Structure 1
Amino acid sequence: MTRSQAMEFAQRWVAAWNRRDVDAVLAHYVEDATFISPKAQNFVGTTTIRGKKALEHYWRTASAKLHTLEFTLERIAWDGESRELVVFYEANLNGTKTRTCEAMRFDDRGRQVSGEALYGATV
């Protein structure tokens, strides 16, 4: 993936979330992916999600409980050598806007193997 392709990926990722298209977000994950998020504790009882099916359950559960889910892309950081992408965005979850980033790691075939959502200051 080039930096330009990484930006296009981030734009598609944000658009999929804004449509609440969990299938589109999951499409690029490997079956045994790992995902970490402090928000997951509130919805599925753990901060670490293991496996694509568990990730789907978390995101569908969380999405159903959010009346507002809107992401605004700010920028990305891409390291082609390590195949790591960080997407910086503003997350509006139920009216609370938070500076957020998500770190993603990909395998050599372009499939996401891990992710971690990090939440910062409320804006």
Structure 2
Amino acid sequence: MDLENPENFVHAWLSAWNAHDVEAVLAHFAEDVVFTSPVATRVLGGDGVVRGKAALRAYWTEALTHVPDLRFELIGSYVGVDCLVIHYRNQKGGLVNEVLVFDGPLVVQGHGTYLTEA
């Protein structure tokens, strides 16, 4: 990822999700990516850990069939040394952070995190 222009990555990521273009989102991910999400637990069962790009493709493709109105609204993005956090509001109004860890230009770890209700 170009840490000088993280907004380019964020814009491409957000546009791809809002277009429901799984392949465009996956273009930023390494073949051996590990992704975690409580939504993956609900969609796939198991522990919520998705290993590998092919498995991530299958997960996101299936998840989109359950959420045909998926839409993300950017709230902010935060840059770390080798990571990026994308803070957004989903179609249900829920607040979400996507934590993405990079090795060079590709995401090698991703974590979907959701605001808990107190």
TM-score w.r.t. length of structure 2: 0.92
Cα deviation, residue 67, structure 1: 2.4
Aligned residue pair count: 115
- Residues 98 and 121 in structure 1, CA contact (< 8 A), matched pair in contact too: no
Deviations 1:30-69 (A, max 9, x none): 1110000000111111311000010000000000121210
Cα deviation, residue 97, structure 1: 1.5
SS at match of 2:94: strand
Letter in 2 for 1:116: H
Listed as ranges, the matches of 1:54-73 within 5 Å are 54-73=55-74
1:118 has 2:117 as partner: no
Letter in 2 for 1:78: V
**What corresponds to 2:39 in structure 1?**
39
Listed as ranges, the matches of 1:22-101 within 5 Å are 22-46=22-46, 47-79=48-80, 82-92=81-91, 96-101=92-97
> How many angstroms apart in 2 are the aligned matches of 1:106 and 1:54?
19
Runs of 4+ in 1 over 2 A off after TM superposition: none
Normalized per residue, which structure has more strand?
1
Cα RMSD (Å) of the superposition?
1.3
**What corresponds to 1:11 in structure 2?**
11
Deviations 1:58-99 (A, max 9, x none): 0000001212100001111102xx31000000011xxx2201
Gaps of 5+ in 1: none
> How many angstroms apart in 2 are the aligned matches of 1:36 and 1:121?
16
- Residues 99 and 121 in structure 1, CA contact (< 8 A), matched pair in contact too: no
TM-score w.r.t. length of structure 1: 0.88
Cα deviation, residue 117, structure 1: 0.5
Aligned residues with identical type, % of pairs: 34
